[in-house]
Structure 1
């Protein structure tokens, strides 16, 4: 018996939103809690834990919007528990790093663009890990129930590079705005962040050029995208961890 494809698609959409509706409600609660923790009478609290919670919140919102058109459920399966964990750690920590609310509009724009870039590349890293898992399962001829429900490899790779393209644009804008706003990016207390961020940007650029010229895909794309994100993680969270947690 032939099934109506329109009915099948409608059922898929209904199941997707049935699963995502609790996530939307959770993000609403996260928004309230995040606002109360970040806004401070002296400025904005962007401690390592508040920053992690804010970035995970941004990633979760991107997943919700992407789910309207794209099959991103596997990213949600990984990201939503991480978001909950980040929020829990933030609320059980008393770490603070207050940034003045009198920052210029340029500085505020730089911070926002940087956070969006970070969240997009984190989204890309999770997608890359899902792609690697799918590759491994198919190669071993042991596709599990989760792998069977994933889109084809071509679609997974296409989604990965769409995320990375947007992430690269915001990453580039973040670096450019940083060089325009700060005149001491290569000072002793910032040089490690600057160098690591540039290395991460160059790594991502090489991947995108390799994709365009040589058709890089599969595990090659996975490795380069994860390496780029790792440089970004160390650049942003490395010094924060040392200053706010270890010292």
Structure 2
């Protein structure tokens, strides 16, 4: 099946899943949540086939291809999280974003070639993808948690978005579990980078490394504060978003400057 047709199928699947999952937010009646998640699962599988199989013959880590890979990772882990907690409302944000990133990579970005990688680098990239995806979901959940707390203070718990979320305590518990697992994978990313990547502080990697370490410190402080002093609420939300913004700059900021501004291969 042509790449274009597969891409369109994945994008349409993501968007229809978004509409199905958004209905409970705007209406009290809720269609089968499983339908939306099933459609998103099909879209994620097609997306995976494009990234890891037919799409340009391998794993492409250039700027737009990396964005598409990140979109896939976040979408796939959103589905996984929904197996344990009813947070399908995340899909309303994640799935259209995954569709957009896939569409930009396939229909807008200039063709690029996947570079061969040895297994240690593939392992490093896998750790990085899992860390970024988990912490991205945590950042989105932190925003939703903030909205829940605001609605609770104002006693406006009848809005569609609040109804679509699990109870506040479960949302907060899931947030810190995601941060803990994401932090573990971010730690593995940094360790594998030290072990497997030659000259981790080379000119084209220095900013990425320093920002990744800064993000690791922020999330580490948050987890320690949660364990030692029971941090929660706005402080937890702020630190989560700060850590994620720094990580976003680490993963894509330097890559954008090098590839899109300076036109240098990374």
TM-score normalized by structure 2? 0.81
Shift of 1:37: 6.5
TM-score normalized by structure 1? 0.86
CA contact (8 A) 1:38 1:50 kept: no
Q: Tell me how far apart the structure 2 counterparts of residues 50 and 203 of structure 1 sit (CA, whole Å).
A: 28
Shift of 1:56: 1.3
1:37-86 Cα distance to aligned partner (Å, 9 max, x none) = 6443xx63212111111111112111222212211212111101111111
CA contact (8 A) 1:74 1:130 kept: no
Alignment partner of 1:117 is 2:131? yes
Instruction: Provide the residue aligned with 2:118 in structure 1.
Output: 104
Stretches of 4+ aligned residues off by more than 4 angstroms = 96-99
Query: Which of residues 43, 56, 60 is equivalent to 2:71?
Result: 56
Q: Tell me how far apart the structure 1 counterparts of residues 94 and 81 of structure 2 sit (CA, whole Å).
A: 13
Cα RMSD between the aligned structures?
Answer: 2.0
Q: Tell me how far apart the structure 2 counterparts of residues 23 and 16 of structure 1 sit (CA, whole Å).
A: 11
Q: Tell me how far apart the structure 2 counterparts of residues 44 and 156 of structure 1 sit (CA, whole Å).
A: 34
- Of residues 227-236 and 45-54 in structure 1, the stretch that sits farther from structure 2 once superposed is 45-54
Gaps of 5+ in 2: 1-30
CA contact (8 A) 1:37 1:45 kept: no
- Secondary structure of the residue aligned to 1:100 is coil
Q: Tell me how far apart the structure 1 counterparts of residues 54 and 136 of structure 2 sit (CA, whole Å).
A: 22
- Of residues 184-193 and 114-123 in structure 1, the stretch that sits farther from structure 2 once superposed is 184-193
Shift of 1:95: 3.6
Instruction: Provide the residue aligned with 1:246 in structure 2.
Output: 261
- Secondary structure of the residue aligned to 2:59 is strand
CA contact (8 A) 1:200 1:229 kept: yes
- Secondary structure of the residue aligned to 1:135 is helix
Gaps of 5+ in 1: 1-13
Q: Tell me how far apart the structure 1 counterparts of residues 124 and 240 of structure 2 sit (CA, whole Å).
A: 23
Q: 1:35 to 1:148 in 2, by over 3 A?
A: same
